Amino acid sequence: MVFMLRGFTWKVFFPTCELFGHVIDCWSQVLNLDESKHAPESPLRVYCKTDVTNSYLESDLTESQRKDKFIENLVLSIEDMDAILCFVGLKEYIVDYLKSHNHPKAEMFSHVMPHRLEMPWRTINNSIDCGMFTMRHMETYMGGSMNEFKAGFKNESSTQDDQLVKLRTKYLYKIVTHEYNVQKDYVLQKVDEFHKIPSRQRSQLLAIAKEQIHMRLDDLS
């Protein structure tokens, strides 16, 4: 498996930028690769790409077509179904898929009641970092109740804002330096070249980059 973030996509990790779905897809691949090293006592998790649930949001499809499209996307996205799947609102689709493959836990899963967790770190004023929250939730949620969910976020505040900025750096670094990232050596070379530039010039370049990124995002919106 190989992956990369092309061109403009990786630049949305810049603070105050909303992440693209491609970034979440790339993160799902990173986490799936990391799952091969999970501790025996940890539940086995599988991460799907964002397009798996697209059919659920398409109002012009019939219920049957939505289900068929969902299963088609699911099959394309994952290979191992012996894992935790968290799709609140899509349980019936999952159950139908498991039954069609005679999965031993299909009947048990059909009786599971989905719950929408009420996280205390939910925000009212921050509509930009939903992608970062998603990535953190993907990384840390192990199933179970809210008391067992240790995402590490503070409640909405400047402290939480700082946490989100640090996570942007952490996750971008993890993706860039991952052994399966085919662009790893190229990007690290560019980083090394950037750090050789005088500090004042680096600050100027960052300011220009920030302005250009937001202009590009405005053009795409």
CA 20 to chain centre: 10
pTM: 0.77
pLDDT by residue (tens digit) across 97-137? 788 888 888 888 888 777 777 889 999 999 899 999 999 99
Which long-range contacts link 176-184 to residues 24+ away (Cβ below 8 Å)? Answer: 176/10, 178/3, 178/30, 178/33, 180/1, 180/2, 180/3, 180/29, 180/30, 180/33, 181/2, 181/3, 181/4, 182/2, 182/3, 182/4, 183/4, 183/5
What percent of the chain lies above the pLDDT cut of 90? Answer: 25
In angstroms and rounded to an integer, the radius of gyration of the C-alpha atoms of the chain is 20
pLDDT by residue (tens digit) across 131-144? 999 999 999 988 77
Cα(2)–Cα(27) distance, rounded to whole angstroms?
A: 12
Fold of 9-220: Adenoviral Proteinase; Chain (3.40.395)
pLDDT at 169: 93
The amino acid that residue 185 corresponds to is D
